[in-house]
Structure 1
Amino acid sequence: MAKTGSGERKAYIITGPTSGIGYRTALELAKHGTVVLVGRNQGKLDDVQKTVERAGRHAVAVVCDVSDLASVRRAAAEIIALGLPLAGLVNNAGLLEMRATKNAQGWDTAFATNHLGPFVLTEALMPHLPDGANVVFLCSAVEDPERKPAVVAGFRGGRYISAEASARGEWKPGGSTQPGADAYATSKQCNLATVMAFARETPRLRFNAVEPGFSPATGLSRDANVFLRLLGKYVLGLLAPFIKYWSTPARAAKVVTNALLNESGETGVYYDERGQSMLGSTQVHDPKFQDRVVAETRALLSTVLT
């Protein structure tokens, strides 16, 4: 188990730090220690690192495609080899696909990016985090079929059948008619179930979740057309602070940072876009469901040779 000396600069890991909420959170975390930037694109990582360093702070870049489990394992080994006093992890990277694709293992890319990759990274780094360290997963209320704003937006909640079915891109019938919605909601359902199960399994660490609110200025759907991306960034993004359940990357970054630096000892908490505790779906709060998701995820991952 890792220990962090009081005189050392703490290091905080964040995935998906090159845009949106991840970018803003990386800049916030850099105020408190070294930020370990984990992302797919070396050039974009370098740009964020330079931005951090121009402010007189410290950053390290680690290239990793979170959808590729072999890449995740290599990145985890690289992070550990840095020898930094690791103090926390933010699983921020996420993807909403308009059309289903497959990852390097032949599994659904959205499910791999949003659930499997963060799961592998977290389990690889947990032994190297000090007692009391916080691990934060960015989740989404669209996993809850009773969440009215999500239903209005076309989501029908998480559609989990099993980890294997999700990896194949198969979801419980009766879901959304919108492409990618069931994959996204189900992966976020698994994120939240994982947080709750890990919080019970490993009490020496703190596992919490954040619902960052709808931030139209993020790069969540990278295959959306140019018009929709510009609309989200320059029009809807300006309206976000004035609409219930909406947020901005800067505001969400503060909630995520507060959750990661929280020294209260809280674990298994789900924070909303204002930093207040909230409830997820009835299903995801069932310990039996949480344990099933984790057990089936581990069984699925054990089949992958890297």
Structure 2
Amino acid sequence: MVLVGRNRAKLDDVAQEIRARGGHAVPVVADLSDVTSARRAAEEIAALGLPLAGLVNNAGIMAMRPFTSAQGWDGVFATDHLGPFALTEALIPHLSDGANVVFVVSAVEDPERRPAVTAGFRGSRYISAEASARGEWLPGGSKLPGGDAYATSKQGNLATVLAFARETPRLRFNAVEPGFSPGSDLGRDANIALRALSKYVLSPIAPMIKYWSNPKSAGRVITTVLTDPATGTGGYYDENGRPMRGSTQVSDPAFQDRYVAETRALLNGVG
């Protein structure tokens, strides 16, 4: 198993735990908000010469305060969409036939998704990849800090899965909506009291609430979608592993292709 993340100490801890259980793990340090770092990680992974049977793109943040990436792009859009996109494209030639690429997405991209609307989201506000990189979104969006950036970038993940599934039939591409998971570090820049409430009070009971989950339960679903040989390609699964549909917009192949083409054009400008 190859582990990719920003923090070497945390990667080493997870690798050690895997080895203690009889597994094998290799840490690769990379910041997926930085496209250059994502591509460098792909080169390092390919150089290991290991058979690559799958890839899980789980990087994600919903920042309460705006920040920019190494390329000067909106930090949420770069972390959640551009970096994973660049990593995946760089690794595709090295993935074994039949390998499954799973993106962890979010249904908040859908403006008709009732739980998301109740929580304050207004769906993806996509204009173009360049506009998103500048932190510009369609008007009439969410009042949640970082809400439009998060919803738009997660729509990019889902568009990527659906377009890549058509483009590269030798591989499998699937998406998982893990449910609202208060025990994750998605909102890691929230205040300490809210983070403690989420982790120690809400997270344990989350799987008993509709549309909610926690990291352990979500991990099981993601692992099942990743490893089940019966999993096809171009699928989208909810927090219980059941098929679901994305927004009307992202379900349109022409829109999927446009999102991917504009992302590629943007990334081609990075040497």
Do the two structures share a fold, i.e. TM-score over 0.5? yes
**Residue identity opposite 2:221 in structure 1:** V
Cα pair 1:144 1:158 within 8 Å, conserved: yes
Aligned residues: CA RMSD: 0.7
Amino acid at match of 2:187: S
- Amino acid of the residue matched to residue 186 of structure 1? T
Unmatched tracts of structure 1, length 5 or more = 1-34
1:303 aligns with 2:254: no
Counterpart in the other structure of 1:27: none
2:141 alignment partner AA: G
User: What is the match of residue 149 of structure 2?
Assistant: 183
Q: Secondary structure at the match of 1:131?
A: strand
Question: In structure 2, what is the Cα distance between the partners aligned to 1:270 and 1:291?
Answer: 17
Q: Distance in 2 between matches of 1:271 and 1:297?
A: 24
Shift in Å, 1:265: 5.2
Q: Does 1:162 align with 2:167?
A: no
Q: Does 1:228 align with 2:194?
A: yes
Matched residue SS, 1:133: strand
Q: Distance in 2 between matches of 1:234 and 1:265?
A: 34
Give 3-state SS (helix, strand or coil) of 1:95's partner.
coil
Which of these residues, 253, 267, 271, is aligned with residue 237 of structure 2?
A: 271
1:98 aligns with 2:95: no
CA drift at 1:126: 0.5
Is 1:262 equivalent to 2:228 in the alignment? yes
| SS in structure 2 of the partner of residue 208 of structure 1 | strand
From 106, 109, 117, the counterpart of 1:140: 106
* Cα pair 1:215 1:247 within 8 Å, conserved: yes
Deviation sequence 1:57-87 (CA, Å, 0-9, x none): 1110000000001111111000000111111
2:88 to 99, 102, 122: 122
Question: Which residue is 2:183 aligned to?
Answer: 217
Distance in 1 (CA, whole Å) between partners of 2:253 and 2:189 is 35
Paired position in structure 1 for 2:209: 243
8 Å contact kept, 1:134–1:262: no
| Structure 2: gaps of 5 or more residues | none
Matches of 2:204 and 2:35, distance apart in 1: 36
Secondary structure, counterpart of 2:86 in structure 1: helix
Structure 2 residue identity aligned to 1:223: D
How far, CA to CA, are the matches of 1:302 and 1:187 in structure 2? Answer: 18
2:97 match: secondary structure: coil
The answer (yes or no) to whether the contact 1:132–1:265 under 8 Å persists in 2 is: no
The ranges of structure 1 where at least 4 consecutive aligned residues each deviate by more than 2 angstroms after the TM superposition are none
DSSP-derived class of the 1:67 partner:
coil
Q: TM-score, normalised by structure 2?
A: 0.99
Cα distance, 1:239 vs. partner? 2.1
Match of 2:258 among 292, 295, 298: 292
Give me the TM-score of the superposition, normalised by structure 1.
0.88
Paired with 1:272 and 1:291, the residues of 2 have a C-alpha distance of: 23
- The Cα shift of 1:248 comes to 1.4
The answer as to whether partners of 2:104 and 2:177 remain within 8 angstroms in 1 is: yes
**Partner letter of residue 134 of structure 1?**
N
Amino acid at match of 2:154: K
Q: Which of residues 53, 59, 66 in structure 1 aligns to 2:32?
A: 66
Are residue 82 (structure 1) and residue 51 (structure 2) matched?
A: no
CA–CA distance in structure 1, aligned partners of residues 111 and 124 of structure 2: 7
| SS of residue paired to 2:206 | helix
Report the number of matched residues. Answer: 271
